[in-house]
Homo-oligomer: A and B are copies of this chain.
Amino acid sequence: MMTFRRKQVVKRLRTFIALAAVPLFLAACGNLSSSSMSSGSGSSKSGGTQLTGQTTDGDYEGVIKSGHYQTSKSRGVTNSQDSGNTYNLKSFENGMLSVSKKVFSTKKYVFQEGQYLNTSTVQNWLDRKSKSNPDGLNPTSNGSTSPTKRNPVYIQALEEQDYMTQKNSKLSLSGVTIGIAVNSVDYYKKTQYGATYETKISKAAGEAYAKKAANTVLQRLRKKSALKNVPIVIAVYRQASNDSLVGGTFMAYSNNKAGATSVKSWTPLGDKNYVFPTESGSSSPNSNDESSFTNFKTQVENFFPNLSGVTAQARYNGKNLQGMHVNITIQFYSQTEIISFTQYLQTAAQKYLPSGVPIDITVSSTDGVQSFLSRTSGSKKFTSHVFNSY
């Protein structure tokens, strides 16, 4: 897997000017509201910086420079790493945002895609350590191709997120979050186009490896002048296997104060993901939630002939449900059927699905998403939208 990794060509539209070295002119100063776009937008002054606007208080705004979104310097690396299970992709980046919110308030900080680790650096770090690649964070190959004897590739993805604050019309770097993703299964090939083999990595082994690597990463980042004196959060994530219907979860994070060059302590993160209905033999942390889901599923499947499937991703912290993503796959339905079905789902979801947690429901056919419903943790009613066209 590592040896034959697709080296995705990452197109970069323009040369980046190191952010810290350039004075930035904010469109709106001292106010991180969505109105910050009101001036500057539409003009293309070089160096003009805007923010994306905020959809809810719980989201970070992002940085726009000269009308372009400030994309990551290592754009695309994570995507090519994680192609085996696309749930990992969303889960990893969303999780990094969630961890960051524990440290960097969305009211004070602005999100910027990572600007300090570029594509080649991240790729070298993710490769095995070798004579030609002394910076590799993954272990040197021991020559074995046996699933249980070889040194597996532990670290599958590494990503940087920057958190900015504004002072005197300038955006300056005030924090960094690094996500380190370790494999639960390392997929590898013995020959270039040969069969795929698997080396399993226990949670404990993966977590220990990631935490050791985190120390190395922290020391390397401190050598960059811009990163010497900012808090650096490092969060370690365990990838779900390629056959999983849900992504992985974060195991722990450390908040390293400005200047700190070694990780002092880790805060454990207990979120776990489950798929409903659970496979026979496995169980979820709270049987009430699962029977709620089963009741909902039965009602919904009864509604239409030939409904293809009702499944859900459920996230738990201990025995406490944190939220659900419900996916309903339908055959081709007429528009009036989809409207009626969505109305029915709105009532049935409110009646049967667990209350007090955020839930969304996506209804898809082979033609794509047909409708969707969602409810925030505080609400009782689901809002809905039926996709439409003229």
Please encode chain A, from 79 to 98, with 1 for each CB lying within 8 Å of some chain B CB and 0 for all others. Answer: 10000001101110110010
A303 with B68, Cβ < 8 A, contacts A336-B93, A343-B59 known: yes
Measured CB to CB, the closest approach of chain B to A53, in angstroms, equals: 4
Give Cα A235 to B44, complex, Å.
50
Stretch with Cβ within 8 A of B (4 or more), from A135-143, A254-262, A345-353: A345-353
Which of A15-23, A187-195, A205-213, A366-374 participates in binding chain B?
A366-374
- Chain B residues positioned under 8 Å from A360 (CB to CB): 385, 388
Q: A91-B390, A304-B69 are in contact. Are A79 and B332 (CB under 8 A)?
A: yes
Chain A contact-residue range equals 35 or more
**Within 8 Å CB of A313, what residues of B?**
389-390
The copy count of this chain in the complex is 2
Interface contact B385-A372, CB-CB below 8 Å? yes
Given A41-B351, A340-B52, A344-B53, are A389 and B299 neighbors across the interface (CB < 8 Å)? Answer: no
Residues of B within 8 A of A304 (CB): 68-69, 71
Q: Which residues of B contact A323 (CB under 8 A)?
A: 390
Contacts of A93 in B (CB 8 A): 334-336
* 16 contacting pairs across A/B (C-beta < 8 A): A11-B305, A11-B306, A12-B305, A37-B348, A37-B351, A41-B299, A42-B295, A52-B340, A68-B303, A69-B337, A69-B344, A75-B334, A111-B336, A315-B390, A325-B390, A360-B388
